[in-house]
Amino acid sequence: MSERCVVVGAGGISNAWFPPLRQEQVEVCAVVDLRPEAAAAQIAKYQLQAAPRTDLAATLAEFCPDFVVDLTVPAAHREVTCTALRAGCHVVGEKPLADSLPAAREMIRASEESGKLYMVSQSRRWNERHQQVRETLAGGPLGELTTICCDFYMGCHFGGFRDGMDSPLILDMAIHHFDLLRFMTGLDAVAVYAREYNPRGSWYRGDVAAMCLFELSNGAFFSYRGCWAAEGCHTSWNGDWRFTGEHGTLLYDHDQEPHGEVVAGGEGFNRPLAAVEVAPSVTGRPGGMHGALSEMLHFLRTGAVPQTECHDNLKSLAMVECVIESSRSGARVLVPSC
Ligand SMILES: NC(=O)c1ccc[n+]([C@@H]2O[C@H](COP(=O)([O-])OP(=O)(O)OC[C@H]3O[C@@H](n4cnc5c(N)ncnc54)[C@H](O)[C@@H]3O)[C@@H](O)[C@H]2O)c1
C-alpha cells in the first residue's frame, strides 16, 4: 500500500517535490494553497488525481493522509505545520523550520504533544558532494578543525516574498549553509558576532548581506560572508568553503570534488605537503528534496528518525536567530544549546 500525503503550497518549490512524490508512488490526495488557481495549475501540470483545496484543517479531516508536505512561505510554516501535527499527521516541511525561535518552539511542542514527526527538508544535506566532504573530514586527515570559512555571493532577482523580508539572506538562504556547517563538520555553534546590512544598489527591502563570526563547540571559528545582491563572479549556491585543521586544509568550492593538502613531515619555511585523501563519492542515493522524502518514507516504514528531525534542526535555526539578534544589538550572542 502506498503512503498518502497532502501538499500545502503550490508555488515555485513544489516543482521540485511533485516528481519525487510520483517516483516514490506516494498518493497526493490534495494540494492546498491560499490561491486555488495555483493548486489547480500544479495538479494539471503533474496530472495528479488530487483535489485542489484552500482550507487545510478541513482537507486533513476529509483525507486523513499519512503526512503533510509543507511548501508554504516561511511566515506560514508555524500555522500550517501545527495544524497538520494536531490533526495527527507527520510533517516534512521546507526550510527554514520556522521564521523565529518562538514559532519553532511552538511547532516542536506540537510535535511532542501529538507524538507526530516534524522533519525539515534541508535539501543540501542529501547532496553527494556534501556527504563526501563530511566523510573526508570525519576520517581526520586535518586533525582537529580550527578555522572554517564559507563565502556565498550571488545576484538573484527573485521577486516575491524574499524582496520584502527583513533578513532574506540569513533566514531564507544562510540556513542552508549553517545547517551544512553542522552536517559536514559535526560541530555546533556556541556564540556569534554578526552584522547584517543592505548594500548600496540592492533591490531588496531588508538586509540581504551579512558578515558573521561564529565560535564552535570545539573552540574553532567559522567565518560566514554572504550576499544575495552581488552581481558578478558568483560562488556556488552551496557556498565556497575552506576547512583548516591542525595538519592541513580542505577546499570545497564551485561544487567541485573537494581537494586539499596536509603536512607530509620534514622541515622548511613552508612544510612539505601531500594531497588529502578524499573519501570516495557515494553515488546513487536520492539527492535534494528526494533525499528528504526518502527519509520520511523510511521513517513511516521503519520508525528510523530522520537526521533533520525538528529537535536537531532547531540548532541550525538557532544560528540564524542569533545572527539576527547580534546584528540588531551589536553584541556577541551566545547560541542556546536547544
Ligand atoms: N530547499 C531549497 O533549495 C529551496 C528553494 C526555494 C524555496 N525553498 C523554500 O520553500 C518554501 C516555499 O518557497 P517558494 O519559492 O515555493 O515560494 P512561493 O511564494 O513560490 O510559493 C509559496 C506558496 O505557498 C502558498 N501559501 C502561503 N501561505 C499559505 C498558507 N497559509 N496555506 C496554504 N498556502 C499558502 C502561496 O500562495 C504560494 O503559492 C520556502 O520556505 C522557501 O524557503 C527551498
Q: Tens place of pLDDT for every residue, the chain, 338 residues? A: 689 999 999 999 999 999 999 999 999 999 999 999 999 999 999 999 999 999 999 999 999 999 999 999 999 999 999 999 999 999 999 999 999 999 999 999 999 999 999 999 999 999 999 999 999 999 999 999 999 999 999 999 999 999 999 999 999 999 999 999 999 999 999 999 999 999 999 999 999 999 999 999 999 999 999 999 999 999 999 999 999 999 999 999 999 999 999 999 899 999 999 999 999 998 888 999 999 999 999 999 999 999 999 999 999 999 999 999 999 999 999 999 88
Q: Is 266 left (phi over 0), alpha (psi -120 to 50) or beta?
A: left
pLDDT at 232: 98
What is the span of the domain harbouring residue 201? Answer: 129-282+318-334
The owner of cell 511532542 is 112
Regarding whether 219 and 238 lie in a shared domain, the answer is yes
CATH number at residue 42: 3.40.50.720
Question: Does 311 fall in a domain?
Answer: no
Regarding whether 135 and 105 lie in a shared domain, the answer is no
- How far is CA 57 from each of CA 12, 77, 86, 225, rounded to the nearest angstrom? 23, 14, 10, 41
By DSSP bridging, strand 145-153 and strand 240-245 are antiparallel
Pocket of ligand 1 (CB under 6 A): 8-13, 32-35, 38, 71-74, 76, 79-80, 94-95, 123, 160-161, 172
Name the DSSP letter for residue 12. Answer: G
Amino acid at 239: G
Regarding whether 212 and 169 lie in a shared domain, the answer is yes
Regarding whether 117 and 138 lie in a shared domain, the answer is no
Cα separation, 80 vs 67, whole angstroms: 12
Regarding whether 247 and 186 lie in a shared domain, the answer is yes
Regarding whether 326 and 197 lie in a shared domain, the answer is yes
Domain count, the chain: 2
Question: Does 291 fall in a domain?
Answer: no
Q: How far is the CA of 68 from the centre of ligand 1 (A)?
A: 14
Q: Which atom of ligand 1 is nearest to the CA of 121?
A: 1
Write down the H helix ranges in the chain: 18-23, 36-45, 56-63, 77-86, 101-114, 128-138, 175-185, 288-302, 310-329
Regarding whether 134 and 95 lie in a shared domain, the answer is no
From 167, 191, 217, 168, select the one nearest 318 (Cα to Cα). 191
Regarding whether 66 and 151 lie in a shared domain, the answer is no
Q: What is the maximal distance between C-alpha atoms in the chain? A: 73
Q: Which atom of ligand 1 is nearest to the CA of 38?
A: 39
Regarding whether 259 and 138 lie in a shared domain, the answer is yes
Question: Does 289 fall in a domain?
Answer: no
Question: Does 287 fall in a domain?
Answer: no
Supply 77's cell numbers: 510554516
The owner of cell 501545527 is 82
pTM for this predicted structure: 0.95
By DSSP bridging, strand 90-94 and strand 248-252 are unpaired
pLDDT at 337: 87
Regarding whether 133 and 112 lie in a shared domain, the answer is no
